[in-house]
Structure 1
Amino acid sequence: IAGKACPWAQDEALQQVLMSDWSVSFTSLYNLLKAKLCPYFYVCTYQFTVLFRAAGLAGSDVITAVISPTTRGLREAMRNEGIEFSLPLVEESRSRKQKNSEGNLETEVAHGPEVAAPSDDDDDGFSWLEEMGVQDKVKKPDAISIKLRKEKHEVQVDHRPESLAVVKGTNTFTLLNFLINCKSLVAVAGPQAGLPPTLLSPVAFRGGTMQTLKARSMNAKARVRLAYEDIFSLEIVGPVLPHSLHLLTMLLQSAQQGAFSAVLYTHEPTAVFNADLSNETISKDLLKCGLHSKTLDQLSQVPTLGKSSLRFLEMKDSAYAWKS
């Protein structure tokens, strides 16, 4: 049944054609991003999501790509390809712990960009045993034990928001080539077997197709004090991109005389994309990227939600209130 429903799952030739066309579309989007004709786009794989943002968005003055969630294997593969990246949430947590532990006799020595690990120099780490004359009575950890301990620290952040990886500048182009040539990017089983990752963009690109969101409106009556009032609801299903949400709020503000509420459901692994990766708003010429000027101003701001996302949005008298 699966073979009939997904003919490409067992057809390697067809898979190669699909992947070739996908690579052209992916490259097209990146070139649009670089030319400031596309503000951002998503690469949605069955394991993780990548958000590419143009220079000027989210307070960055260069092109950025944020990946979530990541695993030790993915990060190691990126390093092997020469892709420089950072784990800002891990580094932030480590910095906070170091500040809290100031004044203690024991200090942590960080190795690598991801985790705090013991020193590689075993003799230095156990020199105090020699001073006490008991070095022969204590078994020192061998190289394998130290390596396993490091790996344990690394995998602790796998699949968690803290595993967010950030790639900046020219390294995003290296990431592009890495993703195009990455064999594990395509699922080998399940409904997505044999299919390239999904590309989502607010602007048209080579090979892209226009998809409409599913909308359903409902009317009901709700009791307010001693009377009943008409309640109108609009349910929108699908990948609602950030610019679409902002445009919807602008539309509802005008249509509902500045009073409405909205409940939002976020794809959880991407909530961490709201993390603050910069300290100031950068002004860039993105007027030709296809977004409304007010939407562009909003997306250019430095994110403030951290690892969370908007869950509830309410407007009263044209003033916003929200919960995350």
Structure 2
Amino acid sequence: MRSAAPAARPVAGPPVRRTVALLILVAVVALAFAASLALGSRWVGPGALWHALVADSGSDADVIVRNLRFPRTVVAVLIGSCLGIAGALMQGHTRNALAEPGIFGVSSGAAFAVVLGLQVGLVESVSSTVWAALAGALLATFGVQRLAERGSGASPVGLALTGAAVAAMLGAATSAIVLLDANTLDSYRFWAVGSVAGRGLDVAGQVLPFAVVGLLLAFVNARDLDLLALGDDVAAGLGLSIRRARLVGLAAIGLLTAAGVAACGPIGFLGLLAGHVARRIFGARNSWLIPAAGLIGATALVLADLVGRLVGGAGEVQAGVVLGIVGAPLFVLVVRRRAVAL
């Protein structure tokens, strides 16, 4: 009887520590959310912040918090979570710590659809931009899947190489359109930098169904991804359908990235950052890694938007620019440590 108790501790210990770490991440997201509401070109104290949230009297502080800061912060939490989880899934399916959702051509597909819509006059508002980006992102995602299946059976390397090729092709087509049309370039450049500025709760509502489906597929795919990490042969021997697991994972990546790109434009490095940090903290167990990456992604985008507002003076630095400045050194750090294969 004495030997049974010590044997249970190693099993119970890690989940407890991971649960505590996950709760800490939830608290960090809440603190980042509160800081985003309070800080900016004008400081809003705790009392005024609480009043603005529970009782709108029409004061300047109420308008700033309720109409300007609260909607963009909600969008940042939603989109940051989507892109963070998409990054973790992408790294798991390609078995490459340098992978991020853009490598599947999803961002390039969304950008091409938006530019094409601007060119022909179908994209004239934020709402139409969202739908055009969603359509382009999803078409690019499943196009990559079909091409990879024909060439290499949708292996991790095949998916990555096919995605990179599709992204390059769509990027070139997008550049050709915007360089030949100054009006399209002028409209496109504000969307392409990646930002939550001007995004309201209406935008969040439009992409929410896609985000919810993508999140559900991501959690369904978590156990399959753990088996795939053992190798395709071992996973198949354990009864896993490799093709189904890849398809579900790719669908989740496509939906989550499409929602993010459609709402805020192509935001680079967020998936890389969230997936890599979550893996360092929680290891390779995807049932923990996926929610952790979502929380880290939400925190990162909220803080990037906040930093952009604080350092921008009268204007603001877009969140995509802030994340690019942070993400590029991180990318170099990962390469220097040779943490390429998972």
Q: Which bracket does the TM-score occupy, shorter chain normalised?
A: under 0.3
| Structure (1/2) with the larger helix percentage | 2
Higher relative contact order (CA 8 A, sep 6+): 2
Instruction: State TM-score, norm by structure 1.
Output: 0.24
Instruction: State TM-score, norm by structure 2.
Output: 0.24
Bigger radius of gyration: 1
